[in-house]
Amino acid sequence: MVYAFDDIKKVGVIGAGLMGAGIAQVLATVGYDVVLNDMNAEALAKAKTDIEGRIDRMVEKGKLEADAAAAAKGRLTTSGDLTSLADTQMVIEAIIERLDIKQSLFAELEGIVSADCILASNTSSLSIASIAKNCENRARVVGMHFFNPVPLMKLVEVIGGAATDAGVVDATYEMGKAMGKEPVIAKDGPGFIVNLGGRAYYTEGLHIEAEGVAPPEQIDRIMKMAGGFRMGPFELMDLTGIDTNFPVSTFIFNGYHSDARLRTTPRHGYMVEAGLLGRKVGRGFYDYAQDLPKLPT
Ligand code: NAI
C-alpha cells in the first residue's frame, strides 16, 4: 500500500472538543476539505460557531483575507455520522483519552474509509501500537500529537507505533508541515517526548516541596527568574489542570514500570481528591479567588 502526502485532499477529524476544533480550523484554513465529526450534536454546533468566530477574528486582525476566510469556512462541514468520513484520505482522531474507546473507533473506521486512508490519533500519552491493536491494517495507524491551543502552538509530535509503515510517518510529517507546524518524529512510548520530558519538571518541583526545601511560590519564581522558564512547575500544573496532570504522571510512571525518576508525591494525588484542580476551579497550588482562604504550603 502506498500512503502519499500528495493524495491527501480531504481530512476527517473525530472529536469536536478543544483539540479537534483547533485541528479542523487549521486544516480548513490551509486549504483542506474537512469533515468534523462528533457523537454529541451540541459539541459539534459549538465547535462550528467557535471555529467561524476565530476565523472572523483572524480577518479583523489582518491575519487572513476576507475571501480566504470565506473559503476556509466553506471547506468545513460537520457530521454526527462516521460514514461521512468515507471519502477522506486521512482521519485525525481527537476523542476522549480512553484506550478501549479509541481501539474500537479505529477498528470501526477500517470498515468505513478506503484501504489507503491514514488513521492518526491525537492521543497525548497512549501507545499508538495499543490504539491499533484491533485494526486489520496496523501499518496505517500513526500518532499526530498537537498542543493546545492548536492554531497557535507550533509543535506537533509524529509518532510511529511498532507496526506503523514508514510512508505513513513521512506523510503525517508532511501534513504537519502543510499545517504550518514544526513536526518532530518520536518513537512510541509513554508520554512520547514532550509529556515524558515534562515529567521531570513537575515531579522535581513536587519533591522539592515535599522535602520542605522550598514552597511552590519560591520554586516557580526561581525557575522563571534564574532558569529562564516562562512558567514554574506549579503554575503550569494549575493551568493544565491537576486532574489531567496527575493521571498522565501516573500513566507514564506505570508505563516505565515504576521507574523511580518518574515517581510523583502523595500530595499530587490528594489535590485531585480534594477538588483543588487549578485555575479552572479557582484553587490549586495557588488561590485565584480573593475570597478563598490561602492554602497552607
Ligand atoms: P474534549 O473533551 O474537549 O473533546 C472530546 C470530544 O470528543 C467531545 O466533544 C466528545 O463529545 C467527543 N467524543 C468522545 N467520544 C467520541 C466518539 N466515540 N466519537 C465521536 N466523538 C467523540 O477533549 P480534548 O481536550 O479535545 O482531547 C481530545 C484528545 O486530545 C484526547 O486524546 C487528549 O488526550 C488529546 N490531547 C489533549 C490536549 C489538551 O490540552 N486538552 C493536548 C493534546 C492532546
- 17-31, 39-53, 190-204, 279-293: least confident range: 279-293
Regarding whether 265 and 176 lie in a shared domain, the answer is: no
- Ligand 1 centroid–CA 46 distance in Å is 14
Kindly indicate the confidence band of residue 13, based on its pLDDT and cuts at 50, 70 and 90.
very high
Residue closest by Cα to atom 25 of ligand 1:
18
- pLDDT tens, residue by residue, 172-224: 999 999 999 999 999 999 999 999 999 999 999 999 999 999 999 999 999 99
Regarding whether 247 and 182 lie in a shared domain, the answer is: no
Regarding whether 113 and 229 lie in a shared domain, the answer is: no
Angle at 85 between CA 99 and CA 71, to 5 degrees: 120
- CATH number of the domain encompassing residue 271: 1.10.1040.50
- Confirm whether 179 is domain-assigned: yes
Mean pLDDT of 152-174: 97
Regarding whether 180 and 240 lie in a shared domain, the answer is: no
Q: Is 254 a catalytic residue?
A: no
Q: Does position 99 have pLDDT exceeding 90, yes or no?
A: yes
Regarding whether 226 and 173 lie in a shared domain, the answer is: no
| Contact between residue 91 and residue 120 where contact means Cβ atoms under 8 Å apart | yes
Regarding whether 154 and 12 lie in a shared domain, the answer is: yes
Cα separation, 15 vs 128, in Å, equals 18
- CATH number of the domain encompassing residue 28: 3.40.50.720
- pLDDT tens, residue by residue, 249-294: 999 999 999 999 999 999 999 999 999 999 989 999 999 976 555 5
Regarding whether 177 and 199 lie in a shared domain, the answer is: no
Q: Does position 110 have pLDDT exceeding 90, yes or no?
A: yes
Kindly indicate the confidence band of residue 125, based on its pLDDT and cuts at 50, 70 and 90.
confident
Closest ligand 1 atom to residue 146 Cα is 43
**CA–centroid distance for 151 within its chain:** 12
- pLDDT at position 294: 55
- Ligand 1 centroid–CA 230 distance in Å is 26
Residue-number span of the structural domain to which 234 is assigned:
194-281
Regarding whether 267 and 134 lie in a shared domain, the answer is: no
Question: Does the beta carbon of 20 sit less than 6 angstroms from any atom of ligand 1?
Answer: yes
Question: Does the beta carbon of 17 sit less than 6 angstroms from any atom of ligand 1?
Answer: yes
Q: Is 157 a catalytic residue?
A: yes
- Ligand 1 centroid–CA 278 distance in Å is 20
Output the DSSP codes for 176-193: HHHTT-EEEEEES-TTTT
Mean pLDDT of 94-123: 96
pTM: 0.90
Regarding whether 144 and 237 lie in a shared domain, the answer is: no
Catalytic residue of the set 157, 209, 235, 245: 157
- Ligand 1 centroid–CA 38 distance in Å is 10
| Contact between residue 99 and residue 130 where contact means Cβ atoms under 8 Å apart | yes
Q: Is 195 a catalytic residue?
A: yes
| Contact between residue 1 and residue 78 where contact means Cβ atoms under 8 Å apart | no
Grid coordinates of 37: 465529526
- pLDDT at position 281: 92
Q: Residue 247: CB partners within 8 Å, gap ≥ 6?
A: none
User: For the chain, how many structural domains are there in total?
Assistant: 2
Regarding whether 228 and 169 lie in a shared domain, the answer is: no
Question: Does the beta carbon of 97 sit less than 6 angstroms from any atom of ligand 1?
Answer: yes
Q: Is 145 a catalytic residue?
A: yes
Question: Does the beta carbon of 101 sit less than 6 angstroms from any atom of ligand 1?
Answer: yes
Given 127, 161, 187, which residue is the final one in a domain?
187
- pLDDT at position 1: 81
Number of H helices, E strands in the chain: 11, 8
Regarding whether 201 and 108 lie in a shared domain, the answer is: no
